[in-house]
Amino acid sequence: MDIIPHEHNTGFIEPSLLKPYEPFGWIEKLKMGGTGSVKVVYLQGIEYFDKKIIQRTDLPMANFELLKKAMLIRLSIHNECYTIAVLKQELLEINVKNFKKDIFLLSLILGENTSSKVIEFEVNSGNIESIQQYFRKPYFR
């Protein structure tokens, strides 16, 4: 997992920073049905994000973007944006389960060296179908 540095007020990432992760071309993105996801609520699991959301009152919203060698996870809170890249080979498992009434828990299990890490997100019932479809893309097989 890598922190991607950028201006926090815009979220713009210099293309040179993404080059090692090989962004998809326009036609490839179209064939995949897009590379970005709907927004979900970040709960826990990424230390870098956890430090950014402490003592904040806004909901920490996150979304995902696929690159050939990694998946970006972007956190938006109080008009600021923070981004990490999870290497494709680190992503071991994706689980979605009922959490509360009309709320689902999305868990990403990452393997790093000999240990694993769980990142959790909250998905409302209005977005669950979209998130499930997103994580069923051939990219994740």
At residue 11, does pLDDT exceed 80?
no
Distance of CA 88 to the CA centre of its chain: 12
Under 8 Å between Cβ of 28 and 7: no
pTM assigned to the model: 0.90
pLDDT, tens digit, 9 for 90 and up, residues 84-99:
999 999 999 999 998 7
Taking residues 46-51, report their average pLDDT.
92
Name which CATH class applies to 2-140. Answer: mainly beta
Q: Kindly report the average pLDDT of the chain as a whole number.
A: 90
E strands in 55-135: 61-66, 70-77, 80-87, 91-100, 103-112, 115-124
